[in-house]
Amino acid sequence: MAKKWGQQMKRWIMKSMDLPEDVMMDLPRITMIGQLHIYIENHRGLLTFSDKEIRLLLAQGQLLVKGDSFVIKTILPEEILLEGKIDQVLYLDK
C-alpha cells in the first residue's frame, strides 16, 4: 500500500511541477533514429554487450536491444549511444 501511495504522490508532484515522467518515475529515456542509432538515458549500467545484443540494467528490470553490427559510440554512467542495425527493443522484468 505504501508503494502505491508513493507512486501516486510522484505522479501528483510531476503534474503539479510539470516535470517529465522519466525524471520523476526513474524511467529510461530512449531516442531512436530509424534503425541506425539508439540513445538511452537513465540506465543503471551495462550488463552485456556484443555486436548483436546489448543489455542494460534499469531501476526496474532490464532493457534488451537486439540487432546487428552494434558499436558503442558513447558511454557515460547513465547514458549510452549505440550504432548498428536495431531489430528489437525489449523490456525485461528480471
**3-state per-residue secondary structure call for the chain:** CHHHHHHHHHHHHHHHHCCCHHHHCCCCEEEEECCCEEEEECCCEEEEECCCEEEEECCCCEEEEEEEEEEEEEEECCEEEEEEEEEEEEEECC
Task: Tell me the pLDDT of the chain averaged across its residues.
Answer: 87
Per-residue burial over 45-58, b = 16 or more CB atoms within 10 Å of its CB, e = otherwise: eeeebeeeebbbeb
Per-residue confidence (pLDDT) for residue 74, from 0 to 100: 97
Q: What is the pLDDT of residue 45?
A: 96
Q: Tens digit of pLDDT for each residue in 53-82?
A: 999 999 999 999 999 999 999 999 999 999
Assess whether pLDDT exceeds 70 at residue 1. Answer: no
C-alpha span between 57 and 60 (Å, rounded): 8
pLDDT at position 28 is 92
Determine contact, residues 83/73, Cβ cutoff 8 Å.
Answer: yes
pLDDT for 8 equals 74
pLDDT at position 12 is 67
Domains of the chain: 25-92 (2.60.40.2000)
User: The pTM is what?
Assistant: 0.76
pLDDT of the residue at 26: 79
